[in-house]
Structure 1
Amino acid sequence: MNNLSTTVQRGKEREKDITEQDKQDEDEEKPRCEWDFSLSTVVSSRITSGAVSDALGVIEFDPSNTVIATGGIARKIRIYCLKSLFPESSQGERNTTLLLDHSNVCSNCICTPAKLGSLRWKPGSGGKVIGSGDYDGVVMEYDLEKGVSVFERDEHGGRRVWSVDYTHWDPVVGASGSDDGTVQMWDPRCGGDGGRCVAVTQPSAARSPVCSVEFNPFGGPLVTVGCADRKAYGYDVRRMVEPTVVFDGHKKAVTYVKFLDSTTVISAGTDGCLKLWNVNDSSSAVRTYRGHVNHRSFVGLSVWRHGGLLGSGSEDNQVFVYDRRWGKPTWVHGNEPGCDGGFVNSVCWRQVEEDNCTLVAGGSNGTLQVFMGRRKACYEEE
């Protein structure tokens, strides 16, 4: 009887979701893609060596937007200069995809003691220091020029660190979110050896894992937290006792929360949805985005703030681009020959304000894909 009741309840929830999405579709105009996207470059170890690299779980552009860092279960931080990934880009458009090998274009590689769940460039370091969170529950910072760690924190009890971020003011304060169900903040001004913990927050009473932490890159005291309890939270860093805002709308774990602008955030969940929220009115999501497949894994989320575009991976090994104005994808890149199986589990936009955009995606098979976008001529004058 209990199983029957549960089945009926789930059926009602699905019907409600479908009804809400149908209403949103009716209210929206048909999405249009104002960009021409193309696959510029594919980087894979299989091209020359036949080996298969490990999953690329995280991709990050440096503050100058000219260098890319990747990490994953291979226990390596790989650094790439963007110009090495498409060296002919300044000489006109190409009609073919450039095929490269990791060993030929990786400019720097640092071995790490554990698998990586997160990477984040440290502000104010001139692109010389990058922070990481790993599967052993340790937060570390690496000096890329020297190739050594310069900072280490081990306060999550050995539980995986899924997310690391830094504030965008001086002095820089860091935060990490972990499987132990906590967000921890540290201040370099306090204590020795890089600082000490100044706040510990447990968003979920059930101590559900914390999957995402991000400070407001536009300034202000808000830090967002995505949690496996199906909710996202916003905290005032000056008082981390309780959240100032709660985003409650996902049916499964919230894996990412990203700021689109100073008052708008995008959340991603393993219910296969992205949701847009206003931080000043979290009573309901402004818009829900559906199309990609996401039931159990981290598939990546990135926002191009200047262009209002959202990038997502998918468990069917595709890359999805959404325009913030419409709930359906405006562009989808299908499977590449030889890249069948696996899924796209990391994406990152280059944050440059221009009529050209760059989206980098990493796969569970270790393949790195670089997509170039150009605004269509018919929209340039709007």
Structure 2
Amino acid sequence: MGETLTQFVGVSEDGARAIMRFSMADRTNFNGWEKLDSRGKGGQGEVFRVRKGGDSPAVSVDRGMDAIRGCAAYASRPDRETAGREFVSFIRDIVREVAAGDRAPLGALKMLHTIEDQSASEKAGGRMAQEVAALNRFQHPSLVRILEAKPDERWFVMEYFDRGTLHGHLTRFRGDVLSSLRAFRPLLEAVAELHKGGYVHRDIKPANVFIADDGHLVLGDFGLVINPGAADPRLTDTYENVGSRDWMPGWAMGVRMDDVKPNFDVFSLGKLLWSMVSGKPFLRLWYFLEPEFDLERMFASEPAVRWATRIFRKCIVEREADCLNDAGELLMLVDETIGALRIGGQVLRKKDGFHLRCNVCGLGSFYVKIPYGGEDTVVFCDNCGHGFSFRGVKEKVGWE
């Protein structure tokens, strides 16, 4: 049909497709939101791309079908020249109205399946209500927004992001630690707000992080969010394994739901940052130092990756005791790291040395190795001979 309309009426291919989409649209009413297409299906529900009708110009189903039948109806009239002009005008009006409708706000409709098991159905509905409540409570640019919700009717509409998820754009930050951290920070700040409010997301991964039109990252899919201190035992199994196994910490496997802590998300956030810097979708367990996953091997000529490794050592860990407590602590570490990278700071190891320009004569320089182990060191400018003393340290600070 698109070809017929394009040739006969002179409308664009997009216009022709708009008419076809309209004629095939699911007109089930969700308070004015109309389904366009499915964007994913799970065990408990399905997500659809939807468009808001309401005050936007709309075409009735009957008129849309008239446009389709019109090709034959107008072609059969004896006054072909007049009929042709009228048909062209008729179709162009419809195309304009449908195109205007296409510019109406888009959303992502999440609706639950009909479940025969009453207990399972009530649990799914309760989780949706909990998801909606969490999203309505926390307002942050890096948390997806609810546009409309009817949890008692088992559906809600949230923001829709045309650019998709981080999973499909991992190479965007590959090898650039500072850019990765700058993009990661607002998302981390949003999770810190969740943790302050007593919530744990439990499903942080690239596929659940959306890219907004301006490029900033937005965390979505709150279907597994939990407030451990206020968890309704009817909504989750006591020893339920939740989230994506590849993105959750090993210590959380099989724990009681009321024992889930914010460091669950810290582990996942660390792996998310690893994916951003590496450009890869998968890191096995906590093996970021294994040759296959070691960023310092992947980007041997990029010293900034040492800063990323420093962060991973406090997030992507095997033992819970070695992990930062919450996203707020991780945020402080990330801010410290961004500040150091902005001024060209380096993470140094004991074996490392570096040249510094003499700030007395401005011409010479001196070579310094880390005065590790408590011994003070004095070095001299190779031009003016001025001496510089460095106090030794007994503990590791900025190096590993």
**TM-score bin, normalised by smaller chain:** under 0.3
Higher strand content, 1 or 2:
1
So what's the TM-score if we normalise by structure 2? 0.22
Give 1 or 2: higher helix fraction.
2
Q: Higher relative CO (CA 8 A, sep ≥ 6), structure 1 or 2? A: 1
In our comparison, the structure showing a higher alpha carbon Rg is 2
